[in-house]
Amino acid sequence: MYTLNCRGKLFVLHEPVVMGILNITPDSFYSGSRAENTPDLIARVEKMLYDGAAFIDIGGQSTRPGSERISAGEEAARVLPAIEQIMKALPDTLISIDTYHAYVARQAIEAGASVVNDIGGGWYDKDMLETVAKYKVPYICMHNNTSLANMHDKPRYSNITLEVIDYFIERIDAGKAAGIMDVIIDPGFGFSKNAADNFTLLKHLRELKMLQKPLLAGLSRKSTVYKTLNISVDDALNGSTVLHTLALQNGANIIRTHDVKAAKEAIILCGKVEESQ
**Positions marked active-site:** 222, 256
Q: E strands of the chain, at which residues?
A: 2-6, 9-13, 17-23, 53-59, 95-98, 115-118, 139-142, 183-186, 216-217, 254-257
Cβ proximity of 21 and 258 under 8 Å: yes
Answer yes or no: are the C-beta atoms of 149 and 218 closer than 8 Å.
no
Backbone angles phi, psi at 195, to 5 degrees: -60, -40
HSE of 225 in the Cβ direction (CA atoms, 13 Å)?
20
Task: Decide if 83 contacts 113 (C-beta within 8 A).
Answer: yes
DSSP 8-class letter at 262: H
Q: Rounded CA gap, 200 and 7, in Å?
A: 36
Whole-angstrom Cα distance, residue 59 to residue 40? 17
Bin 18: left if φ > 0, else alpha if -120 < ψ < 50, else beta.
beta
